[in-house]
Amino acid sequence: MATLQAKMQEYLDSGVRLGWLFNPQDQQVEIYRQGRMKEVRFLPTELSGEEVLPEFRLKVEQFEFSA
């Protein structure tokens, strides 16, 4: 997971304004925003594109994890 988190930081450093990192094992989503601390949500049912994509909504119905 640390590798993916580092990659997300690279994206932010390159100008990405909003990113989601799904962690099915822990049933959470990490939300990354330009210039802000990451936010962790457990079992979210919906994510939005916020001000980056104001009309965008992503329904999160369930997490499935296969080892």
pLDDT in tens, 8-54: 999 999 999 999 999 888 889 999 999 999 999 998 989 999 999 99
* Distance (Å, whole) CA 15 – CA 37: 15
* Distance (Å, whole) CA 30 – CA 5: 9
Q: What share of residues in the chain are helix, strand, coil (percent, to 5)?
A: 20, 40, 40
* Distance (Å, whole) CA 37 – CA 63: 24
Residue linked to tokens 């104001």: 54
Give the per-residue pLDDT at 26: 87
Give the per-residue pLDDT at 65: 62
